[in-house]
Amino acid sequence: MPPDLKNSVAIVTGASKGIGRAVTLALAEQGVHVVLAARNSDALHTLENDIRATGNQAFAVTTDVTSEHSVNNLIYESEKKFGKIDILINNAGVGVFEKVIDTSTEEFEEMMNVNLKGAFLCSRAVLPFMMRQKSGNIITIASLAGKNSFSGGAAYSASKWGLIGFARSLMLEAREYNIRVVTICPGSVNTGFAEKERNEPLIIQPEDVASTVLFALSAPDRVNVSEIDIRPTIKPRT
């Protein structure tokens, strides 16, 4: 039987907008107690109030996933508030799409720190709680850019390739404790994340990624859907 998500506790990083916001709302609709993590405090508290207005539980914790102290505080506050952590959604991400010669060291480091180091810090911090419970789900939002190279995407792709490799190894380690690790790799998503994204019906929407997260979480406990690629059914116009 698929697990019942109601009253489980989920942390979503990068929750204030785009895919993170869609995932947060989808989880809340399932009765999940959601912890909202992002750097934008105002947007977080607006989302927190919107979810609470529907009668569901939400708790905002302003977080910088590149800071070990900030991440440890997020995990501490989440466990203090709800007493457990069942789900971590590693979603926080940034992207600068430039050729290598035009990419600054600061831009490269930011993508590595947010996209890769952030997932490492958050995953490492929740593992002790999930290992004690002998259950849990860590879902990482990567990208097809982590599998397919393209001009102007060297630094971004490198961060996502690293993220996929990290999650694959973590999956093998965590399964010993009945912890599922899932990597979701969307193509272009209509979030305004990159200039090439367009508001058209053929491009993937944030809600599509959220539905995929629910699909992975709804699998029977004995099943780990370890990696999912998401593409439009019909290729968008160029």
Longest pairwise C-alpha distance within the chain: 52
Instruction: For residue 91, give Cα distances in angstroms to 20, 162, 200.
Output: 6, 15, 23
Contact (Cβ atoms closer than 8 angstroms) between residue 114 and residue 66:
yes
DSSP letter, residue 189: B
Q: Please provide residue 184's backbone torsions phi and psi, each rounded to the nearest 5 degrees.
A: -110, 125
Segment-wise mean pLDDT, segments of 10 residues, the chain, 238 residues: 83 96 97 97 96 96 98 98 97 95 97 98 98 97 94 96 98 97 91 54 88 96 94 72
* SS3 (DSSP) at 204: strand
Q: Which residues are catalytic?
A: 156
CATH (residue range 9-230): 3.40.50.720
Residue with tokens 């390739």: 161
Contact (Cβ atoms closer than 8 angstroms) between residue 38 and residue 18:
no
Per-residue pLDDT at 237: 60
Contact (Cβ atoms closer than 8 angstroms) between residue 33 and residue 86:
no
The model's pLDDT over 181-227, given as tens digits with 9 standing for 90+, comes to 999 999 888 776 544 445 556 789 999 999 999 999 999 989 999 99
Q: What is the pTM of this model?
A: 0.93
Per-residue pLDDT at 192: 62
DSSP letter, residue 153: -
CA 174/CA 166 separation, integer angstroms: 12
Q: Which residues contact 42 (CB under 8 A, 6 or more apart)?
A: none
Contact (Cβ atoms closer than 8 angstroms) between residue 43 and residue 15:
no
